[in-house]
Amino acid sequence: MTDAKDTVEARARAQVRADEAAITGSRRRSTGLSDAARAFWRHPSPWMLAVLLTAAVTARLVAGDWRLSDAVTPVIMLAVFPFFEWIVHVCVLHWRPRRVGGLTIDPLLSRKHRAHHADPRDVPLVFIPWQVQLWLLPATTAIALLAFPRLGVGLTFLGTAATLGLGYEWMHYLIHSDYRPRTRLYRAIWRNHRLHHYKNEHYWFTVTTSGTADRVLGTHPNPETVRTSPTVRDLHSREAAAS
């Protein structure tokens, strides 16, 4: 059983490498983790999330009143996050432009994600747009302050949300950078997301984990059974041509 699984994984890695090479060609090179980290902090979204995280942690320490819910809340959020990632990826990032009356509904996040699929090597497109962060971070703060029965647990929620957001940005950036996988866990996450970008955009929607929400929600097939999508770099192009 293990040998068969390893064979499938090896074939999947070979397919991803072949598909990626056909797209990116000689641009691939290797970089160190420290170099990747320095490049990561040159972009606005990580700094915006880091400022929120610092403010949330500081406010939480000042507020005090620690209870069991402050330990339970991060655990629940961590368990739910892969499903949240999946829902946002499917329903928002892969949103098809729709006309309602004379208005076209096509959010900035969706437009940027289509551009990200068109060129996964364009680093600024890897990050959550700063324009989106300008309303997303205040909205998350408002939820933390208004939706919880106790200020302390609301601030715990806010700090955890900022940590998860920063972790998402780091992992997504690292996957698309020239840093090569060196651990089994990261290799699985790296391969999972590259299958989404270079194999078929209809599967493998999680970013920070491999095969979690995708397995539960039916979007983690055996790569050997999935054809390489002709629209993986041009999302919704067939639908656009048909219309």
State both tokens at 181. 């996988």
Average pLDDT of the chain is 90
Mean pLDDT of 103-118: 95
pLDDT digits (tens, 9 = 90+) for 173-225: 999 999 988 899 999 999 999 999 999 999 999 999 998 999 999 999 999 99
Q: Are the CB atoms for 164 and 172 separated by under 8 Å?
A: no
pLDDT at 70: 96
Q: If pLDDT is split at 50, 70 and 90, which confidence band does 155 have?
A: very high
Number of domains in the chain: 1
Half-sphere exposure of 5 (CA within 13 A, CB side): 2
Residue 239 has pLDDT above 60, yes or no: no
pLDDT of 130? 96
pLDDT (tens digit, 9 = 90+) per residue, 54-64?
999 999 999 99
Task: For residues 83-89, give the mean pLDDT.
Answer: 98
Q: Give the residue-averaged pLDDT of 38-58.
A: 97
Give the span between the Cα atoms of 140 and 62, in whole angstroms. Answer: 20
Work out the burial of residue 77: count CB atoms within 10 Å of its CB; fewer than 13 is exposed, 13-18 middle, 19 or more buried: middle
What pLDDT shows up at residue 77? Answer: 98
Structure tokens at 19: 């598909």
On the question of pLDDT at 15 being above 80, the answer is no
Tokens representing 74? 């991060």
Question: Rounded to two decimals, what is the model's pTM?
Answer: 0.87
The whole domain housing 55 covers 2-242
Summarize the confidence of residues 4-30 as an average pLDDT. 60
* Mean pLDDT score, 105-113: 95
Is the pLDDT score of 73 beyond 80?
Answer: yes
Tell me, what's the pLDDT at 30? 72
